Amino acid sequence: MSQSLRTFLGFVLFAAALAVAPLVFSSGLAITMMSLMGVMVIFALSYNMLLGQTGLLSFGHAVYYGLGGFCAAHAMNYIARNKFGVPLPAIPLVGAAAGLFFGAIFGVVSTRRAGTVFSMISLGIGELVAALAGIQRSFFGGEDGIATNRVKLAPFFGYKFGPQVQVYYLIAAWCLICVVLMYALTRTPFGRMCNAVRDNPERAEFVGYSTQRVRFQAFMLSAMFAGVAGALAAINFELMNSQAIGAGTSGQVLLMTFVGGIGHFFGPIIGAVLITFLQISLSDITKAWMLYFGLLFILVVMFAPGGIAGWLSLHTPLLRGGRILNLAPSYALAAIPLAAVVVGGIALVEMAHHMLVEAASDGSKMHLFKIAIDGASPVAWIVALALFFGGAFGLKLVWPRIDDAWGEAQATGEKA
């Protein structure tokens, strides 16, 4: 099968998945969650245009997401007030224009240099805009933010986008458009030169390309797509507040993109879906959920720098000929100490969180995995520590086996 046919089929599958998802997961929570996933997929992919494709580590990408969202919210209010006949599905174009505009302004300053200088400037701009959001109340709406009402816009073929499922399909349609466009960009001369500038900026200059111009163009386009994501968020929540523009959101998109995998186009999609899912479901289960994200990020950076997509793509060649089955016994063996590490780790985090934050008011008794334990008892701590370090030691013991199984699986592949 040719590369382009495979890509085309991939997009058809993606579109089909977007279309049937609300039929499979039809609960209100699921549709709300999937709407947010769609927004985050666009946001994370736009971020990877910088990080993965062009090698620019930005700490302020939320600026363009947030400004796109605020401009979209104001545009919606303005259109509704003046009864212009603009339907809701056109609003993301406002976000795109806003992202492009601010991307051009801040990009001129920040893309003169790459590396640490770029990162520091992006951080500075992020802080600057976040600080401005606290002061400039008429545009950013202070602590309340800017509220809007998506139903007040002109209907689109009879749809008023009141029900969440209609919003989901609006987001899904824009998500598909943006994903296709961002993928197409990677296949253009410009997209290839982004990779060249990432790999070796000096050499790119000696084949006729201004690295600054390549970075600037990448930055503007990336900000434009972030603006679309921001506008969709404004439509989804009917509210934009300064949280969307701050360092937290910038950190979140970095987390999603990196955990998903920056080396593959589809990596950030996986990251956005997974992290959004965890964010919504974990925050219901534990109050220490932020801590788990921090741990997840550290673990991925240390042990799987290619992210989930990188890990998956290591396994795809083994799928052919079923060689992946040879790995199953050693993976199964590793699962036991891994489970111990995870359970021990969760116990440590939860007990620490309980004792530090809640014990003063609620006492030291707590529930973990539906088991009643006492956070003040040394036994509970010893068990948790033993599980964690015992598991880690066990993992170290079985690691050579996995390594061998890997080598074997690959060697048979080369022979075949």
Partner 1 sequence: MSAALSLKDVRKNFGPTAIIRGLDLEIRQGERHAIIGPNGAGKSTMFHLISGRIGVTSGSIELKGHEITGLAPYEINRRGLSRSFQVTNIFPKLTVFENIRCGVLWSLGYKYSIWRFVDRLRDANSRAEEVLDLIGLSARRETPAGILTYAEQRALEIGITIAGGADVIMLDEPTAGMSNTETEQAVALIAKVSEGRTLVMVEHDMSVVFGLADRISVLVYGQIIATGAPAEIRANKAVREAYLGEEAH
Rule CB under 8 A: which residues touch partner 1? 4, 184-185, 187-193, 195-196, 198-200, 202-211, 213-214, 217, 221
Nearer of residues 199 and 362 to partner 1, judged by Cβ: 199
Nearer of residues 158 and 208 to partner 1, judged by Cβ: 208
Q: Within its chain, how far is the Cα of 139 from the centroid?
A: 27
Smallest gap from Cβ 370 to partner 1, in A, equals 48
CA 89-244-274 angle, 5° bins: 80
- CB–CB of 94/74 below 8 Å? no
Nearer of residues 193 and 254 to partner 1, judged by Cβ: 193
Smallest gap from Cβ 223 to partner 1, in A, equals 15
Smallest gap from Cβ 198 to partner 1, in A, equals 8
Q: Give the Cα separation of 40 and 226 in Å (integer).
A: 9
Smallest gap from Cβ 197 to partner 1, in A, equals 9
- CB–CB of 226/99 below 8 Å? yes
CA 89-252-182 angle, 5° bins: 45
Nearer of residues 194 and 366 to partner 1, judged by Cβ: 194
Smallest gap from Cβ 21 to partner 1, in A, equals 30
DSSP-assigned letters across all residues of 291-344: HHHHHHHHHHHHH-TTHHHHHHHHHHHHHGGGGGGGGHHHHHHHHHHHHHHHHH
Beta strands 371-374 and 365-368 are antiparallel
Nearer of residues 63 and 220 to partner 1, judged by Cβ: 220
Reading the block at residue 146, the tokens are 């800017």
Q: Give the Cα separation of 62 and 246 in Å (integer).
A: 6
Smallest gap from Cβ 267 to partner 1, in A, equals 15
**List of residues 6+ apart from 265 with CB closer than 8 A:** 45, 48, 182, 183, 186
Q: Give the Cα separation of 259 and 254 in Å (integer).
A: 8
Nearer of residues 85 and 189 to partner 1, judged by Cβ: 189
Q: Give the Cα separation of 36 and 40 in Å (integer).
A: 6
Nearer of residues 191 and 344 to partner 1, judged by Cβ: 191
Smallest gap from Cβ 213 to partner 1, in A, equals 6
